[in-house]
Amino acid sequence: MSNIIIRETNRKANSVYAACNAENPENPPKVWKFLIPEEFEAYLGIIISAGVHHSKSKPTADSWKTDAKPLYRATMSLNRFWNISRFTF
């Protein structure tokens, strides 16, 4: 199941980035960094950890602040988390 999610996430992201690049040729092209299984597992770990620690009620960015648990920052950047979220679900 995760392989299908990863494949479709990469497909959707590439499609969106290609359309954006075609619409804005004057801007530097956006390139999607392919999601790999290990990174997807890390992403799911963040989602699960946020649920366990009841982080739903606070803004996502708060989990990446320097005074928050270091798990999130050590796993991936906030921008990468947002990009994966944007194209995964």
Helix (H) or strand (E) holding 34: none
Q: How much of the chain is in helix, strand and coil states, percent to nearest 5?
A: 70, 0, 30
* Residue 54 backbone zone (phi > 0: left; psi -120 to 50: alpha; other: beta): left
CA 10 to chain CA mean position, Å: 11
pLDDT tens digit string along 23-60? 999 999 999 999 999 999 999 999 999 888 776 678 98
pTM above threshold 0.85:
yes
For the chain, the domain total comes to 1
* Domain range for 20: 2-88
For helices 78-88 and 37-52, the axis angle rounded to 10 degrees is 100
